[in-house]
Each structure stands twice: as C-alpha cells, then as structure tokens.
Structure 1
Amino acid sequence: MGLIEKFETKLRGIFKIPELRERIIFTLLMFLVARVGTYIPAPGVDIDRLAQMTAQSDLLGYINMFSGGAFQRVSIFALGIVPYINSSIVFSLLAVIIPKIEEIQKEGESGRNKITQWTRYLTIVIAIVQGVGVCTWLQSVGLVTTPGVTFFLTTIATLTAGTIFLMWVGEQISIKGIGNGVSLLIFLNVISGAPGAVIQTIQDMRGSKFLIP
C-alpha cells in the first residue's frame, strides 16, 4: 500500500467516528465564517489605493498576511485575532511579574476562567487602541473618503466588534471543534494568501531570464 492509499484509508477512518466528524465539520464551518468576514469592508475607505500601498510595502504586506487579506480591504476582521494574542501574552508576562496572578492561575478551573475573562476585557481595550491607530493612519495618508469623528467612531466600533467575534470563533473551535482555535485561525489567515503568492511567483518567473521556456 502506497503513501497516498494509507493517507486515504486513515482519512476515511477519521470520518467514520461520528464525534470527530462533527468536530471537523464544525471547524470547517467556522473557517468559512472567518473567511467571509474578511471580504466585508468597513465604509469610508479608498480600498483600491490601500491595496496598492499594501502591495508596495513589506510592513503593510506582513500585517495583511496575518489578517488573511482583511487589512488591505479594511474589512470587519482587519485587526484579526492579534489583539487577543497580545492580551494573552500580556497576562503570561504579568503572571511572571505579579505573584498574585500566578496564584490565581493555580486555583484550577475557576482561576483559569477568571484569567480568561480578564484576557477578553484586555482584548477589547487593545482592539480599540489599535483601531484608533488604524483610523489615524488611514486619515493621515488620505485614504478616508469621509474623514471626521463619525468615521473614527464607526470604524473603531466595527474593527473592535470584528476582533471580538473572531475571538468567539476561536473559542468555539477550541470547545466544539478540533481544538487550538486561535492557532488555527492564524494558520488559516497565513495560508489564505498562499494561492495568490504562488500565482504572483509564476507571473514573475515568466518574465525572468532564468526561466527555461
């Protein structure tokens, strides 16, 4: 039996387990929701010019990669799951610096739930701060079609709500899906740009003198 046949056999075996099959299907549905959200843009931004700037900037391209292409469209998921990751890192560091937080983490399920709740609250704060930064930058480079207070309030609220929703999606994948929801969302965002990168590489190679016809 070849490698492909072994893989197909194991794959069929996985889907014969009802609970595991349901978890995989649920995870795929959550992936679909996460990807659809990246194509719903926030209003009031010149998307075409932003896409051009993102393509020409390595830094913006890096940010856009981790948002799964949502940043260049300023979609409702433009901030991605990054605020939640930053919040988790902050509490991991605080647990080392502040003994009280470390004690709470060791209290068992109740302690972990308390830390998780605090992480969610800090995620909202970080998302708002990052939303303000994104809005300020967009307006400073002239990408906002209707600048002003209304744009700031609506866009910050939209981006923050998008991050909160992604945080919920990640938690649902961890609970009802195959686990590691946040990590899987990051992986999904990164690989979502792979097809476009491959196509771009092929197009670049066609004009290269090193390409053998």
Structure 2
Amino acid sequence: MRQATTFSMPIIAVVGTFLLATMVYLGGSYVMLPGIDEDALASHLAAIPSSPAGQLSIIFLWVSPLFGALCLAEIAKLICPPLARWQLAHQDNDYKLLIGIRILTLCLAAFQGYGVVTALSSIGLISGPEPLMRLLAIVGLMGGTALTIWVAERLRLPEGNLGIFIMLIVPVVTRLAADASGYIGAIRQGRISMEECLVVIVIVAVAIAMIRAVYAELSAGPWKSIDILIWPPVLAEVATGYLLSAVILFSGAEALADVARMRICATAITCALIPLFAYGYFRRSTSQSGNAATSAYLKTFLKVIVAEVVIVLGCALIGIWLQPILLLNAQILIAGVVIVLVAMRYGTTQGES
C-alpha cells in the first residue's frame, strides 16, 4: 500500500490569498497617482531611470502604513499586557482594536502621503493648482492604503497572523526574476565572485535550517504559537528605526555620512532588542495558555532568540559586505520561510491509496 499526497483546503487558501495580494499589487501599480504631471514625470525618469518616482501609483505606500500600525499595536500589547488580555476577553474587543488599527493606518497613510507629495512637489511633478492637486494625491494614497487594509484582512492562514507578511513578500516575489537577472549580471561582470556567492548561499541555507528547527519545536509544544518567531525581529527593527531617527534628528545630517557605521549600529541595536521583544511574547504565550514555563520551553525560547540574532547578523553581514549589490532582509527571510512551512504543514495530508 503506497502513500499518496493529496492537497487539502489550507494550501488552496494559501495560494489563493497570495494570488489575491499579487493581483491587487500588480493591478494597483498601473493606476497613476492623481495630480501627477505625466510629462514632467517622463522627463524626470529619462534623467534618473532608477528613481522611485517611476512607481508612483495609488499603492505607492503599499502596506507601509498598515504594517506600522500593526507594529505599534503589537508593541503596545507587549508593554501593557492588560491590553492583550482585554482583546482576548471578548470578540467585540478584538473588533474595537481592529477599528483602532484601521484609523491609525489611515492617519499614518495621510502623514506619509503628505511627505511623499511634498517631495514630488519640490521636484515639479505635481500639476495644476498645487493645493488641490496635493490633496488629490494624498487622498489617492489613502485610497490605495484602504485597499491594502481590505486585502490584508482577508488573508487567512491556519497558524499565526501571517496575512500582513504575505503582503510584505508580494513585492519581493514580483521582482524576483529581475533581481535574479541583476545578480547573474553582477557575477558575470565580476562584481560578485563565486566564493562570495557560495558564502551567501551557505548563510541563507543555515538561516533556513535554523528557522525550520525552531518552527518545528514551537509547533510541537503545548503553546503552539509562532508569534515569538515572527514578530521580535520585526519589532526590533522598527524600534531601531525610531531610535536612529531620533539620533539623526538631534545630531543632524552628519550622522548619515558614514553609511557602514550606521548599518553596524542599527544591527547592534536590533540584536540587543530582539531578546526583549521575544521575552514579551514568551511571557504572553505562557500566561494565555495557562501552562507553566517548563525547562523544555525555556530551551526552545533560547533557541528562538539565538536563531533570530544569528539570522539578523548574517543578513547584515551580507548587506555590509556586498552593498549595494545584494541587500537581504532578515525579517522578510524569516517570514517567507515560515509561510512556506505553514503551507507545507497544513497544505498536504497523507492518505492511503
């Protein structure tokens, strides 16, 4: 009797949600932002082909405002555990928090949109009566953000709050072919040696193996929570960004002069913050499950922290070493591997035939 692999509904849901997010991303990228002077834009792109202005559409911000709002909500729940307990106490509370996240997301979209539109106006890409056109452009960006909120809330996976991470990975996947072509060209031109390629492959392979190992332990334990694997590196990176922004604000533009030093400082701060956020999720998972912190889970907790810090350091090493040819985001790498593991775990069932 042989074993036959049959696909169950979860894998269809995973593929379907990814295709939905991809369709929205690609479709929205063809809707030009209102108020843009297309002739001025064409002249600008002719002078600077690699300018991000070439991607000016209603989804220019994509999930940046929503992701920022979710990160702030996660940090608030870690700092204030009663807020997390209040959310879980009743379904209405969860809905109220969702409404708050939506409002915060649109406020962040308006704030970020104002900055984008101000920058566009400074280089002459806004047409017509400027105050009105600026307003239309900001409203267009907020409309695109509202669309991403709608899509993200419909992305459901069997384990963890991974919908937002699918949205983050979509742009990476859509650029995969172009990026791969660029890396192959860099190898052919000698900007990346075969030895460097081998080192990158080894680092990525080790990272994937570590993620698989800790995911298996977390999934097998009584807590069955992967938040501690996904969110701490992300929140550490966000908090590091805020800290460095404050430093730059008070010290001036000279803080940006040494890019390598800034990246090293950012990596060091991120690695220092990861254990703090991981402990927050560890404490929350044990309190919500009602299970005591056993020695086995403490070991798993330490393995998760080590894996996260090593992966962040490895990706940062690649970025500093091969900048600007190859920049690998540790948080996207972890999220991408976890999504694949979730799909593999819940997407296939073994049956006899």
Deviation (angstroms), 1:109: 2.3
Partner in structure 1 of residue 23 of structure 2: 32
> 2:152 touches 2:163 (CA, 8 Å); kept in 1?
yes
Is 1:119–2:119 an aligned residue pair?
no
Q: Return the alpha-carbon distance in structure 2 between the equivalents of residues 78 and 142 of structure 1.
A: 18
- The answer to whether the 8 A contact 1:42-1:74 is kept is yes
Q: CA deviation at 1:29?
A: 3.5
SS for the counterpart of 2:172 is helix
Change (3 A) 1:125 1:137: same
Measured after TM superposition, the shift of residue 115 of structure 1 is 1.0
Shift of 1:150: 1.9
Distance 1:190 1:210 in 2: 21
Shift of 1:90: 1.6
Q: Does 1:201 align with 2:186?
A: no
Please name the residue that 2:13 is paired with: 23
Letter of the 1:55 counterpart:
S
Match of 1:162 in 2: 144
Contact 1:167 1:182 in 2 (8 A): no
Deviation digits for residues 95-137 of structure 1 (CA, Å, limit 9, x no counterpart)? 3455663452242322222111100110010001111010001
Partner of 1:92: 74
Look up the SS of the partner of 2:89 in the other structure.
coil
Q: Residues 28-66 of structure 1, C-alpha deviation per residue, up to 9 Å, x if partnerless?
A: 24422332212222141444425865736xxx6xxxxxx
Gap change, CA 1:52 and 1:111, over 3 Å in 2? farther
Instruction: Determine if contact 1:127/1:163 at 8 Å carries over to the other structure.
Output: yes
When normalised by structure 2's length, the TM-score is: 0.45
Provide structure 2 residue ranges, at least 5 long, that are not aligned to the other structure: 195-353
Q: Cα 1:52–1:117, aligned 2, differ >3 Å: closer, same or farther?
A: farther
**Larger CA Rg, structure 1 vs 2:** 2
Shift in CA distance, 91/29, structure 1 to aligned 2, threshold 3 Å:
closer
Measure the CA separation in 1 of the matches of 2:132 and 2:164: 32
Partners of 1:181 and 1:54 lie apart in 2 by: 33
Residue pair 1:127, 1:160 contacting (<8 A) in 2 also: yes
Mapped partners of 1:189, 1:26: distance in 2: 16
Separation (CA, whole Å) in 1 of partners of 2:101 and 2:92: 14
1:182 to 164, 169, 175: 164
RMSD between superposed Cα atoms in Å: 3.4
AA aligned opposite 1:150:
L
Quote the residue 1:79 is aligned against.
61
| Distance in 2, Cα, partners of 1:100 & 1:133 | 35
Q: Deviations over 1:160-202 (max 9, x none)?
A: 11011011111112279x9722111111112222211222233
SS across alignment from 1:173: coil
Q: Residues 205 and 124 (structure 1 numbering): CA distance in 2 closer, same or farther, change over 3 Å?
A: same
Contact 2:21/2:167, CA 8 A, preserved across alignment: no
- TM-score, length basis structure 1: 0.71
Q: Which runs of 5+ in 1 are unaligned?
A: 1-5, 61-70
Contact 1:173 1:181 in 2 (8 A): yes
Percentage identity across paired residues of the two chains: 23
SS state at 1:55 partner? coil
Distance 2:113 2:154 in 1: 24
